[in-house]
Amino acid sequence: MLKVKHVAIGVGLILMLSACNDEKVIKEKNMESGIEAEILTLEKLIKERKYEDLLVEMETLDVSESEIDKVRAVGTKFVDQLIQEKNVQFLGSKYNRMRIVLNREDWNKVVKIIEEEKKLKLDEMEQAVRTKDFLKVQELYENTKVLEDNEEFLAMYNYALYLQTDQNSYKASGALALAVNPKYFGRMRDEIVAGITNTSYANPSSFGPITLNDWGWIEHEYRSNLYTMERRAEEKKVMNEKIENARGMNPTLGMTYDEVLASLWGAPYDINRTVTEYGSYEQWVYGNGQYLYFEDGILTSFQD
């Protein structure tokens, strides 16, 4: 009986292992059929030139290490088709996103084509500025997305704007000085410096001309003021959002005067104000035993 029992247990284990293996094979087949379906979807999107949808699919695709090469192969087809179409606009605008889904070789192809396009457009911009073809300058500025943050591209564009103004004035030279970084040493640097330091309008009754030292100071002051304006604009935006959020609500601790005024309590019947060397304190009286207490403009306590 003992031997029979052992045989029965052994047969049971074999059946269990066999079932597990069968289940594993089924799962692998299901995964394989799943990835094949995904590949067909990706290739269909390439054929239909639905590149944004394709990129989203590749970004969200969940595949095993053993299947990654199949997806990379689709990425190669994707890049090759974009290059064949000379679709630099898509390559440039999706530059960072494509880096995540491509293999190194395909990514290097993208980098190469983008750098070639940048050089071509910089050459075109420089030629247009030098020949004073300002329509071409504007066209390049509006349509060359791959260079929208490029320092050389923007410096030459701003120099073209300078050339279209009354160049013999402090206003024209000053505008150019504001637009170009004093540490700029790219294309047309000499021409830009000559425009900023133009001395043709110098006379005792006017500002200028601008020196190289002035240029650095002007740029510094401009950037400093710009930062301050942007920060104040952001603070105002946040405050307006808080005021809007206060509408229809009861006052809560931490609110400002404006937030409370926008709340359900609105304006008080009376205000009692105390000022000491430690700050200002206000009691807002609403009647019916309701009071709000502020310290330096912030609601710190209440009675209701």
Take residue 39 and report the two structure tokens written for it: 């590949």
Which are the contacts of 99, defined by CB distance < 8 A and separation ≥ 6?
A: 107, 110
Per-residue confidence (pLDDT) for residue 272, from 0 to 100? 95
Per-residue confidence (pLDDT) for residue 150, from 0 to 100? 92
Contact call for residues 196 and 180 (beta carbons, < 8 A): yes
Task: List the one residue out of 135, 211, 130, 203 whose CA is nearest residue 177.
Answer: 211
Per-residue confidence (pLDDT) for residue 21, from 0 to 100? 52
The DSSP-derived string for 36-73 is HHHHHHHHHHHHTT-HHHHHHHHHH----GGGHHHHHH
Contact call for residues 235 and 227 (beta carbons, < 8 A): no
Task: Please tell me the distance from the alpha carbon of residue 251 to that of residue 264, in angstroms, as a whole number.
Answer: 7
Which are the contacts of 35, defined by CB distance < 8 A and separation ≥ 6?
A: 63, 67, 70, 71
Task: List the one residue out of 137, 131, 68 whose CA is nearest residue 103.
Answer: 68
Per-residue confidence (pLDDT) for residue 1, from 0 to 100? 47
Name the burial class of residue 237, with classes exposed (0-12), middle (13-18) and buried (19+) by CB atoms within 10 angstroms of its CB: exposed
Q: What strands, in cross-sheet order, belong to the sheet with 298-303? A: 270-276, 279-287, 290-295, 298-303
Q: Which residues of the chain have pLDDT under 50?
A: 1-5, 7, 19, 22-32
Task: List the one residue out of 275, 276, 265 whose CA is nearest residue 292.
Answer: 265
Task: List the one residue out of 133, 211, 200, 207 whose CA is nearest residue 166.
Answer: 200
The DSSP-derived string for 132-176 is T-HHHHHHHHHH-GGGTT-HHHHHHHHHHHHHTS-SSSHHHHHHH
Task: List the one residue out of 116, 141, 119 whose CA is nearest residue 129.
Answer: 141
Per-residue confidence (pLDDT) for residue 280, from 0 to 100? 93
Which are the contacts of 73, defined by CB distance < 8 A and separation ≥ 6?
A: none
Q: Give the CA distances from residue 178 to residues 187, 223, 244, in Å, rounded to whole numbers and listed in that order.
A: 18, 9, 37
Take residue 63 and report the two structure tokens written for it: 């595949």
